[in-house]
Amino acid sequence: MSTSKRIFFTINSKIRLKRSDYVYNKKINRLIHKTKVPSLSAAAKREILKRFAQYGFSNISLKWHQYYSGMHGSVHSDFVPENLFYGHIEPALNRVPLYPAWEDKASMEKFVDESLTPNTLLKNCNGFYYIKDDILSLEEAIAYCSKLDQFVIKPSMGTWGGQSVRKIELEGSKDKKKLLNELFQEYKKDFVIQEILTQSPELAKFNPTSINTIRVMSFFRPSGVVVLSSLLRIGKKGLFTDNTAMGGVACGVDVNGNLKNFGIDEFGIKTTQTKDGIKLEDFTIPQYEKIVATIEKVHRQMPYFKLVSWDVTVNDKSEVKIIEFNTFGQGINLHQITNGPLFREYFDEIMEIAKSYDKVADVMSYPG
């Protein structure tokens, strides 16, 4: 490793982090202004600064702790600032260059058993159409899909917050092939067409129009996989996706699969029940032990990613289905607002990893 090359990457890395910190500082200022959360005490500020300084992060912004503490309802020094998580911790835990290929929904069966995922009917990979391993022409792909009554279409990579995830109903369409041709031209390439899951009656009661999912964050450590935090995401009535960015609500889940006593939307508004009057705290996630056991097993097959966020549901046959997983750009705010400090008793273990991480050396090792 030449000195000049390391200097170049060091300067470049610092510039990127400065830009990132600027963006996140603007974000937290907006959140604090909107929510009017109270300031931290002088004693709490000293404790937080001391807590993070021991891991080499001596100049963290205390605004994130102010926001999380105010929204959660109690002050904790172990809350993880969003800019610190994305800029230092996530890349220390996960091999960033590998995530685009591993997160590709068209390749999930390579890493997750097909019995645990929604049935993929058709996929487009870099412009090529496939059914299983067989390549089809555009015309053949359209002809195949025209026999379907309904399906889900979604980009296979590079999306967040349920972007471009749509439920398509062909039944009753006058010209199915024309509709499908227009749809495929719109999505261009890198997308999948999947069956529509029928969720369990217990989950459906919150909102039958969306697939209400459990977002689970797990940590792969030397002794095995542990679940750090879980959320139930409930879609807005009438919509197909469950994301808070689309008007949904997220509610924390305890270690036994029971909902916490409040949910929260993207604007920070708390609610104790759905719009139909269903109380959140009186509900237990169906098959929660099975969900945890499934994630613990599957995560062990992904050694390049120590921290993974899973979107899981339970179908009408009580089967666990992994809809997708995220290894980069994982959301942490809703977890900490509803469940408290993200890393729980593993805070020191994870921060030690972040402390010893040499970001410059890692970036320099990337091919290309």
- Tell me the pLDDT band of 4, cut-offs 50, 70 and 90: low
Residue 264 included in any domain:
yes
DSSP letters, 186-237, are HH-SSEEEEPPP-B-HHHHTT-TTS--EEEEEEEEETTEEEEEEEEEEEPPT
Residue 122 contacts residue 161 (beta carbons within 8 Å): no
pLDDT at 179 over 80: yes
Same domain? 69 vs 135: no
Q: How far apart are CA 84 and CA 82, in angstroms?
A: 5
Task: Provide the sign of the torsion angle of the four alpha carbons 73, 326, 226, 205, taken in this order.
Answer: positive
Same domain? 226 vs 288: yes
How confident is the model at residue 6, as a pLDDT? 59
* 305-332 pLDDT, tens digit each: 999 999 999 999 999 999 999 999 999 9
Domain boundary among 194, 224, 249: 194
- In one letter, which amino acid is 221? R
Count up the domains in the chain and report the number: 3
- Tell me the pLDDT band of 79, cut-offs 50, 70 and 90: very high
How confident is the model at residue 126, as a pLDDT? 96
Query: What percentage of the chain exceeds 70 in pLDDT?
Result: 89
Q: The tokens of 168 are what?
A: 């398509």
Same domain? 125 vs 235: no
Same domain? 160 vs 253: no
pLDDT at 290 over 90: yes
Residue 363 included in any domain:
no
Same domain? 128 vs 210: no
Burial 254-286 (b: 16+ CB within 10 A, else e): eeebbbbebbbbbebeeeeebeeeeebeebebb
pLDDT at 358 over 80: no
Q: How far apart are CA 213 and CA 311, in angstroms?
A: 6
Same domain? 260 vs 337: yes
Residue 172 included in any domain:
yes
How confident is the model at residue 110, as a pLDDT? 86
Residue 368 included in any domain:
no
Same domain? 204 vs 346: yes
Residue 136 included in any domain:
yes
* 218-236 pLDDT, tens digit each: 999 999 999 999 999 998 7
How confident is the model at residue 293, as a pLDDT? 98
Say which CATH number the domain at 282 has: 3.30.470.20
pLDDT at 364 over 70: no
* 100-122 pLDDT, tens digit each: 889 899 999 888 999 999 999 99
Residue 109 included in any domain:
no
pLDDT at 161 over 70: no
Residue 83 included in any domain:
yes
Same domain? 204 vs 297: yes
- Tell me the pLDDT band of 16, cut-offs 50, 70 and 90: confident
Same domain? 219 vs 315: yes
Q: How far apart are CA 291 and CA 315, in angstroms?
A: 12
List the single range of 17-26, 93-102, 118-127, 262-271 with lowest mean pLDDT.
262-271
How confident is the model at residue 59, as a pLDDT? 86
- Tell me the pLDDT band of 52, cut-offs 50, 70 and 90: very high
| pLDDT mean over 261-286 | 83
Q: How far apart are CA 283 and CA 265, in angstroms?
A: 18
Same domain? 32 vs 127: no
How confident is the model at residue 224, as a pLDDT? 96
Cβ of 364: how many Cβ atoms within 10 Å?
A: 16
Same domain? 273 vs 330: yes
What's phi and psi for 229, nearest 5 deg? -160, 145
Beta strands in 78-179 (DSSP E): 120-125, 128-131, 134-136, 150-155, 166-169
Higher pLDDT, 201 or 17: 201
| Residue-number span of the structural domain to which 11 is assigned | 3-90
Based on C-alpha coordinates, what's the Rg of the chain? 22
Alpha helix (H) residue ranges in 265-315? 288-299
Query: What percentage of the chain exceeds 90 in pLDDT?
Result: 72
List the single range of 75-84, 108-117, 138-147 with lowest mean pLDDT.
108-117
Residue 301 included in any domain:
yes
How confident is the model at residue 214, as a pLDDT? 97
pLDDT at 9 over 70: no
Residue 83 contacts residue 24 (beta carbons within 8 Å): yes
| pLDDT mean over 210-223 | 96
What's phi and psi for 231, nearest 5 deg? -135, 145
Same domain? 9 vs 56: yes
Higher pLDDT, 364 or 285: 285
How confident is the model at residue 244, as a pLDDT? 66
pTM for this prediction: 0.91
pLDDT at 35 over 80: yes
| pLDDT mean over 171-198 | 94
| pLDDT mean over 325-345 | 95
Q: What is the mean pLDDT of the chain?
A: 90
